[in-house]
Copies of this chain bind each other. A is one copy, B any other.
């Protein structure tokens, strides 16, 4: 990782450590919108599973207007906006700074409004030519594992293994893409005329279901969707299932696998149109058993992307087309 990125991450972690050893940390809030909120969902899950300190995730304006009572100077607020300009996320970061909370931010644009509103901003690279090690996932997970070393030091060796895993994951992720390429592309072609494609996941993977439904499908393909939680499927949504109703189902290799397997067993019985991404299929060489659940989303996100790119191609609907976003004030 670039020196610049490492220094920003280390400064944020150091600020976290100073708070933890000083006035204390009584809440960690992840605050962002859309894809950036989904980006935080797996790490909020990790914190929820590993830390005694309560964490929660909010849409930015929900946080700004429906501010939780417990928010205050002992809070840590972690924001993300790719452009660094999302007004409500900038406002949330500023609100945290003004309250004397620790205001940490991720963005692709240094010196952006978000960068200036937060006290500990971190930059990540973006684009086809960017190195995985410098992109958002790598920067976020590096921060998170380092933060866990500070906040859950009793498992320090485990978090070191997580840090090593992120450094060496890119070729294993590429292998996951190749392993699934045929299935993913076939599913895309078969479903290119569908008006609705559902997504389903649980636990650490719910964020991928959320961003696939709301960003890849609704935003970038104008295809309807609903991110269904695997544990909620049987309590309403499963009644929509039929032989020709498509679902993308991510099956965790970790704690919530039972939920996904149960949903999958039912969906397989009544739908002939599934893309099943089983996280047990991926290569975790060198990754501690206990960390595999947390790193698995890196692989499945890449598989989903392969599918989405083929879908966009077959539909002749570029992932870069928008009719409203960036086209007007709203």
Report which of B54, B228, B258 forms a contact with A54, defined as CB distance below 8 A.
B54
Q: How near does chain B come to A55, taking the closest CB pair, in angstroms? A: 9
Q: How far is the CA of A43 from the CA of B37 in the complex (A)?
A: 23
Q: Which residues on the B side are within 8 Å of A239 (C-beta)? A: 218-220, 222, 322-325
A residues 36-82 touching B (CB-CB < 8 Å): 36-37, 45, 48-54, 56, 59-62, 65-70
Report which of B52, B65, B67, B259 forms a contact with A70, defined as CB distance below 8 A.
B52
Report which of B61, B225, B235, B323 forms a contact with A35, defined as CB distance below 8 A.
B235
Please name the residue on chain B nearest to A36 by beta carbon. Answer: B235
Q: How far is the CA of A138 from the CA of B222 in the complex (A)?
A: 41
Interface size class of A (residues with CB under 8 A): 35 or more
Whether A61 contacts B231 in the complex (CB less than 8 A), given A45-B66, A66-B49, A68-B48, comes out as: yes
B66 touches A54 (CB 8 A): no
> Would you call A215 an interface residue if the criterion is a C-beta within 8 Å of the partner chain's C-beta atoms?
yes
> Would you call A146 an interface residue if the criterion is a C-beta within 8 Å of the partner chain's C-beta atoms?
no
Please name the residue on chain B nearest to A45 by beta carbon. Answer: B66
Please name the residue on chain B nearest to A257 by beta carbon. Answer: B65
A residues 237-283 touching B (CB-CB < 8 Å): 237-241, 255-259, 262, 266, 270
A residues 1-60 touching B (CB-CB < 8 Å): 27, 33-37, 45, 48-54, 56, 59-60
Report which of B68, B69, B270 forms a contact with A324, defined as CB distance below 8 A.
B270
A240 touches B218 (CB 8 A): yes
Q: How far is the CA of A257 from the CA of B234 in the complex (A)?
A: 32
Whether A241 contacts B69 in the complex (CB less than 8 A), given A54-B54, A218-B226, A330-B234, comes out as: no
A: residues with CB less than 8 A from B are 27, 33-37, 45, 48-54, 56, 59-62, 65-70, 86, 88, 195-196, 202-203, 211, 213-215, 218-220, 222, 224-229, 231-232, 234-241, 255-259, 262, 266, 270, 322-325, 330
A-B interface, 4 closest residue pairs, ranked by CB to CB distance from nearest = A34-B235, A54-B54, A59-B231, A214-B236
| Known contacts A59-B232, A224-B224, A239-B325; 6 further A-B pairs (Cβ under 8 A) | A48-B68, A49-B67, A49-B69, A65-B258, A219-B238, A238-B325
